[in-house]
Amino acid sequence: MDVDSCLKGRKSSRAFRPEPVPRALLQEILDLARWSPSYKNSQPWEVLVLSGQRKEALSREMLRLLEAGAPNTPDLAAPEGWPPAEEAKINQLYQSRQEATGIDLRDPKVVRKARKANFAFYGAPHVVYLFQDKSLSQWSLFDLGLFAQTLMLAAHAKGVGTVPQAFVTDYAQEIKEFLGIAASKRLVLGLSLGYPEPESSLNQLRTDRVPVEDFVRWLE
């Protein structure tokens, strides 16, 4: 796959086939992801790949916490608001999703249903959790974002789908205890991973991007 096809073809998958990705292929994807750049080559990422019974048990635990009304304990708080330009893009996403599916993403019932789907990892056979030490700076958060993008592109190039998920870090404290991750670590992101289900309507949606002219200034 050439780089143009990889960059333009990658999208979030929200429906997966049940069969697991072979361990050798997961290893190959992670081996590519480790070449992601980082501040002074600090490589401030730690990765946990969860599959099988442990993944299913974590899914049940997050659903239990949701049903019990447990308070969220994320290591990265959700944004409280957005500047006008970014908020306009989010509103456009909500509008296009509602037009395509008839679902209002602002509806609390829809949000709760979405959380449940996230906690079930959209049926993916694997979930990848990315975390790092809490003492690291914001530069290291940026580096972990670079690593996540490299991981998703490497997976797409190998025919494997991913979706980055903030929801699956909602109960970070409980998740770290469940997975044996030290409390001194910050849980940043989860990514469901597996072979996409091409026939699912959930995988037909495609978000757009603003043109270059909208975000680039040229000075000479």
Cα–Cα–Cα angle for 189, 202, 2, rounded to 5 degrees: 70
Q: What percent of the chain has pLDDT over 90?
A: 73
Residue 124 phi/psi, 5-degree rounding, is -70, 145
This prediction's pTM: 0.92
Q: pLDDT over 70 for what percent of the chain?
A: 98
pLDDT at 208 over 90: no
Helix 23-33 with 138-157: angle, nearest 10 deg: 130
Per-residue model confidence (pLDDT) at position 100: 66
Mean pLDDT score of the chain: 93
Domain ranges of the chain: 16-76+121-202
> Distance between CA 41 and CA 44 in Å, rounded?
8
Per residue in 38-80, pLDDT (tens digit) is: 999 999 999 999 999 999 999 999 999 999 999 999 999 988 8
Mean pLDDT along residues 91-97: 82
* pLDDT surpasses 90 at 184: yes
- pLDDT of 199 strictly over 90: no
Are 191 and 164 in contact by the 8 Å Cβ rule? The answer is yes
What CA–CA distance (Å, rounded) separates 179 from 58? Answer: 8
| 46-51, strands of its sheet edge to edge | 46-51, 126-133, 185-194, 161-165
pLDDT at 96: 78
- R_g over Cα of the chain: 18
Domain 16-76+121-202 has CATH 3.40.50.2000: no
The reported pLDDT for the residue numbered 83 is: 93
Single-letter amino acid, residue 202: L
Residue 46: its pLDDT value, please? Answer: 98
| Element of type H or E holding 7 | helix 3-9
Contact 205, 101 (CB under 8 A): yes
* Residue 204 banded pLDDT, cuts 50, 70, 90: confident
Length of the chain as a residue count: 220
